Amino acid sequence: MRLFAGSDHAGLDLKNHLVAKLRAEGHEVEDLGTHDATSTDYPDWAARVTDAVLANAGSLGLLVCGTGIGMSIAANRRHGIRAALCTDTFSAKATRAHNDANVLCLGSRVVGVGVAEDILDAFVAGTFEGGRHAGRIAKLDS
């Protein structure tokens, strides 16, 4: 799987951990930043990741900030992006199956490393069911 990752300063440590995990599992991951703890603005990183996801069909995005809320708001302003803030594995699996989500948002101050790993695993392994859900996605895209 090809993924693009980004975070602000608050999400840096969790993003770095998850990027390393994904790479160790054989996924192709491009870390678009931030790369240090200097205060930075989450919309900038959301834009970079969503641009990359939109330009690379079939890819996924990972965005991390303090709560995940800012990243999800910023990402969802982009046509063609379906970003989901997840705090549990059921939501991560369901959003891929029912919403065809292509960007996962996490809050580093909300979920611990172990839970974040499980959420990411469920998200990456998930697939879109189509069927009755396809019409709903078409409405979002119109």
Residue 20 has pLDDT above 90, yes or no: yes
CA dihedral 85, 87, 93, 97 (to 10 degrees): -30
Q: Which residue segments constitute the domains of the chain, with CATH numbers given?
A: 2-141 (3.40.1400.10)
105 carries an active-site annotation: no
pTM: 0.97
CA distances from residue 139 to 73, 94, 129, 132 in whole angstroms, order as listed: 19, 18, 16, 12
Whole-angstrom Cα distance, residue 139 to residue 39? 37
Kindly write down the DSSP assignment for every residue of 36-72, as one continuous string.
SSS---HHHHHHHHHHHHHHSTT-EEEEEESSSHHHH
98 carries an active-site annotation: yes
Q: Which of 96-105, 110-119, 127-136 has the lowest mean pLDDT?
A: 127-136
**pLDDT reported for residue 42:** 98
Using CA of residue 90, residue 88, residue 80, residue 57, what is the dihedral sign? negative
Whole-angstrom Cα distance, residue 15 to residue 21? 10
Position 34 confidence tier, pLDDT thresholds 50, 70, 90: very high
**pLDDT reported for residue 141:** 85
pLDDT, tens digit (0-9, with 9 covering 90-100), for 68-83: 999 999 999 999 999 9
Out of 65, 86, 105, 133, which one is annotated catalytic?
A: 65
Out of 9, 27, 98, 133, which one is annotated catalytic?
A: 98
**pLDDT reported for residue 142:** 86
